[in-house]
Amino acid sequence: MKDRLEKQIRFLIEIDRVKHIFRQTRLFDHSRHENDAEHSWHLAIMAIILAEHANSHVDAAKVIKMVLIHDIVEIDAGDTLVYAEHLNEKKIDAEQAAARRIFGLLPEDQRDEMIRIWEEFEKKETIEAKFAGALDRLEPVLQNCMDNGYAWKNHGIPKEHVLSLNSRIGYGSQALWDYIRKMIEDVFNETCAIEHSGCVKSTG
């Protein structure tokens, strides 16, 4: 029992490093870039609040597990711009190696469960994985929409690419995709999609 607890504590200490992995998007108030831990927490809350909008009934508890652990691998693999699809193969290899190392710190049964959940999320084949994937795309899109397309403009991502890649949201929730697609269009048309004090037209 002591050995099991020591492994669990070692894992919990290791994943604290997620707090130092910063993403491409900024917080809704534009004050700084978001880190992976904040991203995962926000997705977990979104899973609770938005589960009713999934295309089919989902096990919300399973979705929460997925979104809480899905970016732990970035401790080793780092954060990659989702629109840089030419890096996908290297990203997949790096993340698989990271999953084996980091989840491997846990006792065997928990290691196997975490890897199984992480792999299910990555494959996007089950209802829960598709919805978790939809949330994973929805949050940064919302951030960009509230930030006048900051990350998109910063990396020169055209509207067509943004719409094409994020249409995957519809695999998990057509309702969420229909809603956010309008917001994307408004951002590129330099109009505000939400009445919000921090949402202003771009003058650039």
**Residues 39 and 142 sit within 8 Å (Cβ to Cβ):** no
Residues of the chain with pLDDT under 50: 192-204
pLDDT given at position 35: 98
Structural domains of the chain, ranges and CATH numbers in brackets = 2-188 (1.10.3210.10)
pLDDT given at position 80: 82
- Per residue in 115-143, pLDDT (tens digit) is 999 999 999 999 999 999 999 999 999 99
How many residues are listed for the chain in this entry?
204
pLDDT given at position 198: 43
Partner residues linked to 22 by β-bridges = 35
Q: Give the contacts of 202 (CB within 8 A, at least 6 positions apart).
A: 148, 149, 153, 190
Compute the distance between CA of residue 83 and CA of residue 160 in angstroms, rounded to an integer.
12
pLDDT given at position 90: 84
Residue type, 142: L
- Per residue in 40-55, pLDDT (tens digit) is 999 999 999 999 999 9
- In the block, tokens 């999934």 appear at 54
Angstrom CA distances, 190 to 99, 159, 172, 183, 194, stand at: 40, 12, 28, 10, 12
pLDDT given at position 201: 37
Partner residues linked to 26 by β-bridges = 33
